[in-house]
Structure 1
Amino acid sequence: MSRIKALSIEHSPASTQAPLKGIEKTMGFLPNVFRTLANSPVSLSGYLQLSQNLSKGELSPVEREIIALAVGQVNECEYCVSAHVLYAARRDLSDEEIQAARRGEGTIFASLAHKVATQRGRISDADLAAAREAGLSDSQIVELVVNVAHLTFTNYVNNVAQTDVDFPLVEV
């Protein structure tokens, strides 16, 4: 059971109701993570704004899913891993690719995201050089780090709240 209430649209602060309705319309349901974030209008707004900005970045949706899988696993966020396993499969990642990403393997995105998350950004010169040798630009590296921070934000909210998982459950 969740330790922080996931608010219905009707019981959420007025400033969160329109964004929540938009999410529900887009996704076909309103995931509990957004209902939990609605407890803090500024937090929901900040999350959504950064999500929108990152969706326009250089990293592809598949690359962002790979990062989400790696970071969610590092942070042991059952909610986010469950959600992103589903989303990754919908983006045609195989079970093997999903498992590799969760281990921080398979791609430079998974590897670097895993290292950034586990080492709290204090990666080695060799790790940074490996990312560049794999073809990542400095712009992509910065964007990857911001994605890690953005994902860590929701991982931590869900871990603190113990948000009820409303996706097919995946154990971390």
Structure 2
Amino acid sequence: MATINVPTRDEVSANNQEIFDNLNSKLGFVPNLYATFAHSETALGDYLTFQNRKSSLKAKEREVINLVVSQINECDYCLAAHTAIAKMNGFTDEQILELRTGEATFDAKLDALANFTRDITINRSKPSTESVNRLFEAGYTKENLIDINIVIGDKIVSNFIHGAGQFEVDFPAAPQLEGALA
């Protein structure tokens, strides 16, 4: 049951209506998560700017992070959305399920990223020295480390918005993953 309603275009400010129109033209709809941000005069625009910033990470790497963090935080909304986005970025169903466990045995570099993301998220910002070293040994840089943390922060924000709001998921449901990560 929703604790925060998903506002319609008519229920948001003129500024947010313009953002809704832009999202509608690009995506064909306004995702419920984004619409919920529009309860705030500035949060939707701020979040989209934050989310769409330039990054040293590739789209596939960002999806690894999004899937791992969303699984740890048990966010059904973000798992559904990022399962769809991960498929658009070339991941198979099997790879997506594995990524959600914090592993990527099919790619050594993504495996280091998935493991680091799982470690830092579960340990509330304090990854092991081993996982940091493994990340660097896999070829990630200090710039990448900063960008990884930006994506983790972005995903935590959206996970928490859905966790508090419990609004309807408007993407196809992600398959259930057996076993918890935390």
TM-score (norm 1): 0.94
Hey, what does 1:89 align to over in structure 2?
A: 87
The letter for the 2-side match of 1:123 is P
Aligned counterpart for 1:105 among listed residues 103, 121, 132 = 103
- The correspondence for 1:138, drawn from 135, 139, 142, is 142
Letter in 2 for 1:111: N
Q: Is the 8 A contact 1:68 1:84 kept in 2?
A: yes
- Which aligned pairs between 1:12-91 and structure 2 lie closer than 5 A? 12-53=12-53, 56-91=54-89
- Partner SS state of residue 10, structure 2: coil
8 Å CA contact 1:73, 1:81 repeated in 2: yes
Give the whole-Å Cα distance in 2 for the aligned partners of 1:116 and 1:14. Answer: 39
Shift of 1:51: 1.1
Deviation for aligned residue 1:92: 1.4
What runs of 5+ residues in structure 2 fail to find an aligned partner?
A: 105-110, 178-182
Give deviations 1:99-123, integer Å, cap 9, x for gaps. 1110010122221111121111101
Q: Which amino acid aligns with 1:162?
A: Q
Pairwise CA distance, 1:35:
1.0
Aligned to 1:11: 11
Work out the CA distance in 1 between the residues paired with 2:125 and 2:140: 17
Offset, 1:34: 0.8
> Displacement, 1:45?
1.9
CA distance in 2, matches of 1:102, 1:76: 10
What displacement does 1:144 show? 0.3
Distance in 2 (alpha carbons) for counterparts of 1:24 and 1:104: 33
1:3 positional shift: 1.1
Matched length: 170
Cα distance in 2 for partners of 1:138, 1:71 equals 20
Q: Is the 8 A contact 1:38 1:44 kept in 2?
A: yes
> Which amino acid counterpart does residue 80 of structure 1 have in structure 2?
C
Provide the C-alpha distance between the structure 2 equivalents of 1:13 and 1:147, rounded to a whole number of angstroms.
28
- 1:41 CA displacement: 2.3
- Distance in 2 between residues matched to 1:97 and 1:40, nearest whole Å: 36
RMSD of aligned residue pairs (Cα, Å)? 1.2
- Residue 163 of structure 1 and its aligned partner are, at CA, apart by 1.9
Decide whether the 8 Å contact of 2:64 with 2:114 is kept in 1.
yes
